[in-house]
Amino acid sequence: MNYWLMKTEPEVFSIDDLAKARDKTTCWEGVRNYQARNFMRDEMKLGDQVLIYHSNTSPPGIAGIARVVKEAYPDHSAFDPSSKYFDVKSKKESATWMMVDVQFVMKAKKFLSLDELKANPKVKELLILRKGNRLSITPVEKKHFEIIAKLL
DNA sequence: GCCAACGTTGGC
DNA sequence: GCCAACGTTGGC
């Protein structure tokens, strides 16, 4: 089992939106970065646990946990000209972009802010804390996931 | 294949 | 809204 952190802007899609979604499940559309896509396509497996991180908001931080319920398949938003994620270069026969489905597991009882993460020496290796890291999907070590899960 | 210009992310 | 950091694009 692998562990991940996935960023989302809560104004666009929050942990509450995930909790309210049908089957508490959503397809993770709109990833348009090759490294993040490769993580989904090559390494995300059924049952993997995901920290849901709220970015571009105040304060940013970890808002809950989800799990992978469907492994990578073509991101259909890339084929939809009306979608803001439309990519004319992605063909249905050989999709450029992939997505997974994730299901709500829990909302943090205690939202864990970026400041609190930075202040916790036990999780200082988290990739999210690296200066300049903009990757929307990053792997998380099991020990770090477990430390964080206990704090939520 | 280099690299300047541009676009995006995301904390602040 | 600003801007640093990074990824992508495209001329050469």
Q: What is the CATH number of the domain that holds A100?
A: 3.10.590.10
In this prediction, residue A35 has a pLDDT band, given cuts at 50, 70 and 90, of: very high
For residue A4, give the nearest of A151, A146, A141 by alpha carbon: A141
Average pLDDT over residues A47-62: 95
CA separation (Å) from A59 to A39, A48, A56, A62, A63?
27, 26, 8, 10, 11
Instruction: Estimate in Å the CA A54 to C1' C7 gap, whole number.
Output: 22
Cβ of A22 less than 7 A from strand C: no
Residue-wise pLDDT for A9-19, tens only, equals 999 999 999 99
Instruction: Estimate in Å the CA A66 to C1' C7 gap, whole number.
Output: 28
Q: How far apart are CA A32 and CA A37, in angstroms?
A: 7
In this prediction, residue A130 has a pLDDT band, given cuts at 50, 70 and 90, of: confident
Whose CA is nearest the C1' atom of nucleotide C5? A132
Q: What is the pLDDT of residue A84?
A: 84
User: Mean pLDDT score of chain A, rounded to an integer?
Assistant: 93
Q: How far apart are CA A99 and CA A119, in angstroms?
A: 33
- Report residue A13: phi and psi, to 5°: -155, 115
Cβ of A133 less than 7 A from strand C: yes
CA separation (Å) from A120 to A44, A114, A147?
27, 10, 10
Q: Which residue has the higher pLDDT, A131 or A44?
A: A44
Q: What is the pLDDT of residue A133?
A: 86
Which residues are within 7 Å of strand B by their Cβ atom? A 7, 9, 32, 55-58, 60, 114-115, 134-136
Number of H helices, E strands in chain A: 4, 6
Average pLDDT over residues A73-97: 84
Cβ of A34 less than 7 A from strand C: yes
Q: What is the pLDDT of residue A89?
A: 77
Residue A109 structure tokens = 């009882």
Q: What is the pLDDT of residue A12?
A: 92
Determine contact, residues A117/A77, Cβ cutoff 8 Å: no
For residue A33, give the nearest of A94, A78, A92 by alpha carbon: A78
Q: What is the pLDDT of residue A94?
A: 77
Q: Please give the residue range of the domain that contains residue A65.
A: 3-151
The tally of domains found in chain A comes to: 1
